[in-house]
A and B are shown apart, each in its own frame.
Chain A
Amino acid sequence: MAERPVPEEKRVFMTGNEVVAYAALAAGAEIMYGYPITPQNEIMHYWTRLAPRFGRGFLQTEDEISAGFATLGGVLAGRRAFTGTSGPGHILMQEPMAMAEMMRLPMVAVIQQRGGPSTGTVIYSQQEVTMTVSGGNGEGLRIVYSTARHQELYDYTIKAFNTAWRYRFPTFVLGDGYQAKMREILTIYPPGERGIEMVAGEPYLVGPGEPGTDRPPVHLRNTYNVEEELNATVMELIRAYQAAAPEIAEYQESGTGDAEVVVCSHGVVSRVVEEAVRELRGRGWKVGWFRPVTLRPLAESGLKAVAARAGRLLVVESAHGQFARLLKEVLYGSPAVLETMFKPGQGFTVEEIVARVKEVARGGRS
C-alpha cells in the first residue's frame, strides 16, 4: 500500500473509538471481526470506513461468539486480527477467549466497559474487570491493559498487538464508555517513527510446505482425554505466563515515597485520582497514587512495595470491588489497611475523591 493510515505524527482531537481504529490501522492490524454493541460501535464504524483504503478486512458476524471465534480463525491464519465488544457481548465472547487462552492464540480485543450486570447501561463502568482478567473456564492467562486517556488508548492498542504476538496470549485493551465516546486531544504517530517495531504475525495453520510431505501436519488440540494430560498442558501454559509476567507488568505511581495514604485505581478513574492527589499534595496532605497499567499480570512487587511504605491504601473504582480483589490477592498478609470507595457503574469527580481521601487520612472509615 502506497498510502499509510497514519503517515506522520499528528495532533488530533477525536473520540476513543476513533483512536482505537487509527491505532489498529497504524499497528498493521489486518482484519477486524465485530458485532454491534454500544459503546464500542464506532470502532467498527471508523474501521469499515478506513480499512478498505489500506487493504484491511472486516467481517460483521452474527453475534459476539462468532466475532471472537472468527478472530481466532484470523489469528490461526497468521493475521493480526482483532475485535471489540462490551457488556453482554463480552459475556458471549468469553467462550472464544477461553479457547485463545488454552491454545495461546494472540487475539486482541478492545473492551469498552458499560454498566452491568446484564444489559445495565450503555454509558460507563469498570465492572468488566473480573471478566476481562479471568473470565471463562480457565486460569486467566490473559494480558490486560487498562487505559486512562486517549493517548494511552492509542499507545496500548498498538502495543497490544505486539504483546499478543510476542508472548502468544490473548491481549485486551480495557477501556470504558467514557473513553469510547469522549473526545480529547492526543498525538497519533506511525509506530516505526517511535522506534516501535511491529511483531509479525505467523500462520499456525496452512503455513509453507505440503503437510505430510514437506513437513508434519499441524494438529492443534483443544480437548484432552485424561486429567494428567490436561494438567500437564495447563501447567505448561501457566509456567510460560509466569515467566513472561514480569516483562509485561506495568504500573505508574506518584508521591508514594512519603504518603500516608496511597490511592489505588485503574483506567479512567486514575486520571481523576491523579488530579485529586495533586490538589491534596498542594495543600500539604501526604498522599500518593498507585495505578497498575496491566491488570493482568499485575505488577506485584511494585504494589507490595507501596503497601509496605504506606499505612493505608484507598481503592477507588467504578465497580464494587472487582479491582480491589485483584489487589487483595497480592496484598494478602500485608499489614496495610485497605479502604474502599466503590461506585459501580458511575464515574467519579475530583471533589468526592478529595473528600474521601481526607476522611481516610484522618483515620475515619466510610
Chain B
Amino acid sequence: MVTGSLKILLGGEGGQGVQSVAAVVAEAAYAEGNEVLYIPNFGVEQRGGVSIAFLQISDQPIAAPKFRYADVVVALSQRAVARTEQYVGLRTVFLHDSAVGGVEDLLAGRAARIIAIPALETCRRESDPKVFNMVIMGALLGQTDAVSLEGAKAAVRGKMGARFAKQPELRELNEWAIDRGMALVAARQ
C-alpha cells in the first residue's frame, strides 16, 4: 500500500498502450488495498489522437478525478509532452522515452527531475516494440512505490490471462519488458 497519495499522469499517442498501463497499475493498486481513481481522457479519435490517463493511488478516499500537478508524468511521444506539460510542478518527476527530444530544454527548472529512458530503442534492439508500454510500466514502477512488481505482474496476467495461456512466450516477453523497464530506470538513478 502507498503512504499518502500518488498522482500519476500518463500521455501517449493513441495505440501506444498508455491506457493499458494505467489500467494495469490501477488494478494492481486496488488489489493491494489502496484507494484508486483512474480516469482515461481522450478525444474523438479512435486512433491517432493523444491519449491521457489520470491515475491516483492513495491511502485515503480520493476527491477530484483530476489534479493540478502530478507526482510523476510519463510521456511517450512528442505530442504527449505538449499535452502533459501543464501538469508539471516543481515536485514532479518527468519520465519520457529517449526518442522524444527537447524535454530538458522545455522543462528546465520547472520539474524536480527529468528522466529519459531508451524504452523504444531497447525494445527494438533486444526484443519486440509491441511490449514498449510494458517497459514503460516497469520504469514507472521503478520510479514510484505505486504497486509492487509482483502485484503489477499479477495484474498483467489477470488482464492477458487468455492470451498468455495460448502463447506462454507472450507472458515471458511481457515480464521481461517490465523487469527491463525497472532496470533502465534504476540505471538512471
- Greatest chain B CB density within 10 A among A122, A183, A271, A272 is at A183
| 13 residue pairs A–B, Cβ–Cβ below 8 Å | A13-B30, A123-B42, A178-B65, A181-B40, A183-B23, A183-B38, A184-B37, A184-B38, A185-B30, A275-B63, A275-B64, A347-B66, A348-B64
What 8 A-B pairs are tightest by C-beta distance, nearest first?
Answer: A275-B63, A182-B39, A272-B64, A349-B68, A13-B30, A351-B68, A183-B38, A178-B65
Which residue of A182, A275, A350 is within 8 Å of B37 (Cβ)? A182
Mark out the residues of chain A between 228 and 286 whose CB falls within 8 Å of any chain B CB in the assembled complex: 268, 271-272, 274-275
Q: Does chain A have a CB within 8 A of B108?
A: no
Q: How far is the CA of A347 from the CA of B54 in the complex (A)?
A: 13
- Greatest chain A CB density within 10 A among B37, B44, B68 is at B37
Does the CB pair B39–A181 fall under 8 Å?
yes
Closest to B38 in A: A183
Does the CB pair A352–B36 fall under 8 Å?
no
Chain B residues, Cβ within 8 Å of A268: 65
Q: Does chain B have a CB within 8 A of A121?
A: yes
Please encode chain B, from 46 to 70, with 1 for each CB lying within 8 Å of some chain A CB and 0 for all others: 0000000000000000111111100
Please encode chain B, from 62 to 91, with 1 for each CB lying within 8 Å of some chain A CB and 0 for all others: 111111100000000000000000000000
Q: Does chain A have a CB within 8 A of B41?
A: yes
Q: Does chain A have a CB within 8 A of B35?
A: yes
Q: Does chain A have a CB within 8 A of B26?
A: yes
Q: Give the shortest distance, in Å, between A13 (CB) and chain B (any CB).
A: 4
Chain A residues, Cβ within 8 Å of B44: 38, 121-122
- Listed in ascending order, the chain A residues whose CB lies under 8 Å from chain B are 13, 38, 121-123, 178, 181-185, 268, 271-272, 274-275, 347-352
Q: How far is the CA of A178 from the CA of B23 in the complex (A)?
A: 15
Does the CB pair B64–A350 fall under 8 Å?
yes
Q: Give the shortest distance, in Å, between A307 (CB) and chain B (any CB).
A: 25
Decide yes or no: A183 and B63 within 8 Å by CB, A13-B30, A122-B44, A352-B68 being known contacts.
no
Chain A residues, Cβ within 8 Å of B42: 123
Does the CB pair A350–B38 fall under 8 Å?
no
Closest to B40 in A: A181
Q: How far is the CA of A271 from the CA of B66 in the complex (A)?
A: 11
Closest to B87 in A: A349
- Greatest chain A CB density within 10 A among B23, B35, B41, B43 is at B41
Does the CB pair A182–B65 fall under 8 Å?
yes
Q: How far is the CA of A272 from the CA of B56 in the complex (A)?
A: 14
Chain B residues, Cβ within 8 Å of A352: 68
Chain A residues, Cβ within 8 Å of B40: 181-182
